[in-house]
Structure 1
Amino acid sequence: MHRSPTPRAPRPLRLLAVVAAVMLALTACGGDDSSAGEDGTTAVTVGVIPIVDVAPIYLGIDQGFFEDEGLDLTLKTAQGGAAIVPGVVSDEFQFGFSNTISLLLANTQGLPLEVVSAGVSSTGEAGKDFGAVIVSKDSNIQTAADLAGKKVAVNTLKNINTTTINEAVRQDGGDPSSIDYIELPFPDIAAAVSKGTVDAGQVVEPFLTITTRQGDRQVVSNYAATDPNLEVGMYFASKGYAEKNPEVVKKFRTAMEKSLEYAQAHPDEVRTVLGTYTEIDPAIGKAVMLPRWSAEIDEDSVQKLADLAEQDELISKQPDLEEMLP
């Protein structure tokens, strides 16, 4: 694994270039309306990532919340938003899940996306959140400020994890501009920390539980440190699809809200359903720190992420949150 070479475009810009190409190919045709089955249900496809964050949508299907709204969901997994965003724009997916920073980036670049539902939030508790920066047990890094000047692994450069780590370091009196971020997939980050290839790494569940069980320790819960109510990810659709299918969007939002509330109230069922769409070891699944799920989007935390993204120069202007959020 390696750091992205300097001449290569940052990941957000590469993603936007891909989406822009998809948009150009679709300028002459809008997204198709969702197909209705013989029983009157509407078939929709949702792009998701096989991580803890999306457990509510799986529970919602099991509980019949989407069926009650006349929706027949097909979930298709992708490795991340880099595949889901263009999939939604091209109408491969009618809905998708992505982290909030990626959606803010898309909005400021004029991509036709709109949020339709809350997705996943920080627990707000330091040391008890579903994402954190970890170091080896014998590391001299003790606080967020100590990350300044160090090599820190993240799954994607210039995105939500770099933004929230920067803020945590800033709050602790450190200089985040001196951090050397290295891009690595989540499964490889713990190994890089153990080998000393990097000084620290940001991981989410189940990798957080796996690595701390192996002896690594948490330095800072970067999501909770940024905002105790941080809206980490949300579900979204293309504007074209939402305009053509307002009733489907309304039904999806209603079922999704019920799913989020159900997941929050039934953590044991969340842990059980994890085994149906991930390869998490059952013992790890019982131990992972679950995020918080709320049907309400915390708009203040979305605005804070927008402000931080502008401060870190990920975006050059403020996104139109009134247009983007439901």
Structure 2
Amino acid sequence: MLNRRLLISTFAVAFAGLSALPAVAQTAIKFTLDWKYEGPAAGFLLALDKGYFKDEGLDVTIDSGNGSVDAIPRVATGAYQMGFGDINSVIKFLDEDPAQPVKAVMMVYEKPVFAVVGRKSLGVTEDPKSLEGKKLGAPPPDGAFAQWPAFVEAAGIDTATIAIESIGFPVREPMLASGDVDAVFGFAFSVILNLKANGVPDEDIATILFADNGLNLYGNAVLVNEDFAAENPEAVKGFLRALIKGFSDAVADPAAGVEAVLARNEILNSDIELERLEMANSMNIKTPYVIENGFGDVDMARLAASIDTLKISMGLTGAVAADDVFDAQYLPPAAERMLP
């Protein structure tokens, strides 16, 4: 009886000691979006809400952004360990300072959403040359505006008669709706739906997509601070695995994705955000290339060709190579990156 009591006491002490041990710490990752909480952010938010990051041992916070260019220095400085930004602007950023510790690790917008969106009633059509003689509104941190010099060359636009006015994001669509500018730079799915919300009918909206007019570039990608990645490679891999699940869910059930967005931004219209998300899914995320090759990777030859384009049109001065911009080592195999 004494031995039995001693054994029970020993187990009790051991169990108490185990329960007193601290929980295993999760790796903290601060992530910045390119823009505010809208439909296309659903994949990121679903990965958070469904616990996919937590399952990978990650403590992730996701903040809204101020433009797909602004996200880059946020990650490079280490203010955010990871983020979502325009890969072409990353190329420019690294051309200006190759020592900056930022690199893309997963492509999201395989086809970029860069566009100039105007109104037919103001003389703008789907022909890029219709922009000649017009006033264009441009938010300085906007990823589409960052590619204007490249687009001008690719589309053969004469800029001599084009006036560009610097405007803020909040007034971009209202200024176009009121006719203060003839067209604006932006992501197609954002500007189109915001214009409709400002009372501009579908039949008056003219969308000039850069990708359909000679500019074969990639779009927004997941970025990482290289110092963080070097110290936490498994955390980066886990983040991307979780994110693939989130984007798969947003493609399979866009309505659930919109619910995740509305939980952060209740003033949004659910129907508009659902349309915005479905536009992003079909135009930019689940593209023919992604259907065949899986989500997240890039064709390095195509990326290299896009860098050559930017060298000519954006005046790049250095020798930035595709390997300096994109690192696929953190991605899971293609079979695990297929979207539904």
Query: Does structure 2 conserve the Cα–Cα contact (< 8 Å) formed by 1:309 and 1:315?
Result: yes
Query: Does structure 2 conserve the Cα–Cα contact (< 8 Å) formed by 1:263 and 1:270?
Result: yes
Distance 1:161 1:81 in 2: 9
Which structure features the higher share of helix residues? 2
Counterpart mapping for 1:28-39 below 5 A: 38-39=23-24
Query: Does structure 2 conserve the Cα–Cα contact (< 8 Å) formed by 1:153 and 1:184?
Result: yes
Secondary structure of the corresponding residue to residue 79 of structure 1:
coil
Counterpart mapping for 1:99-248 below 5 A: 99-108=86-95, 109-110=97-98, 111-122=100-111, 132-142=115-125, 143-156=127-140, 160-162=143-145, 164-165=147-148, 170-176=153-159, 179-204=162-187, 205-212=189-196, 214-215=200-201, 216-226=204-214, 230-248=217-235
Residue of structure 1 in register with 2:84 after alignment: 97
| Higher deviation after alignment, 109-118 or 301-310 | 301-310
Superposition misfits of 4+ residues, deviation over 6 angstroms: none
Q: Residue type matched to 1:252 in 2? A: F
| Higher deviation after alignment, 242-251 or 291-300 | 291-300
| Higher deviation after alignment, 81-90 or 51-60 | 81-90
Whether 2:278 is the aligned partner of 1:277: answer no
CA-CA distance at 1:194 after TM superposition? 3.5
| Higher deviation after alignment, 79-88 or 194-203 | 79-88
Secondary structure of the corresponding residue to residue 72 of structure 2:
helix
Residue of structure 2 in register with 1:262 after alignment: 249
Distance 1:40 1:324 in 2: 31
Secondary structure of the corresponding residue to residue 121 of structure 1:
coil
Residue of structure 2 in register with 1:7 after alignment: none
Q: Residue type matched to 2:280 in 1? A: L
Show structure 1 runs of 5+ residues with no match.
1-36, 124-129
> 1:44 and 1:206, CA in 2 relative to 1: closer, same or farther beyond 3 A?
same
Distance 1:303 1:162 in 2: 21
Of residues 52, 58, 63, the one that matches 1:71 is 58
CA-CA distance at 1:75 after TM superposition? 1.3
Secondary structure of the corresponding residue to residue 206 of structure 1:
helix
TM-score (normalizing by structure 2): 0.71
CA-CA distance at 1:245 after TM superposition? 1.4
Cα RMSD (Å): 2.9
Number of residue pairs the alignment of both structures matches: 282
Residue of structure 1 in register with 2:314 after alignment: 313
> 1:233 and 1:116, CA in 2 relative to 1: closer, same or farther beyond 3 A?
same
Secondary structure of the corresponding residue to residue 214 of structure 1:
coil
Query: Does structure 1 conserve the Cα–Cα contact (< 8 Å) formed by 2:116 and 2:183?
Result: yes
CA-CA distance at 1:219 after TM superposition? 3.6
| Higher deviation after alignment, 97-106 or 133-142 | 133-142
Residue of structure 1 in register with 2:47 after alignment: 60
> 1:166 and 1:92, CA in 2 relative to 1: closer, same or farther beyond 3 A?
closer
Query: Does structure 2 conserve the Cα–Cα contact (< 8 Å) formed by 1:119 and 1:231?
Result: no
CA-CA distance at 1:58 after TM superposition? 0.7
Distance 2:166 2:301 in 1: 29
Distance 2:48 2:152 in 1: 40
> 1:134 and 1:87, CA in 2 relative to 1: closer, same or farther beyond 3 A?
closer
> 1:183 and 1:298, CA in 2 relative to 1: closer, same or farther beyond 3 A?
farther
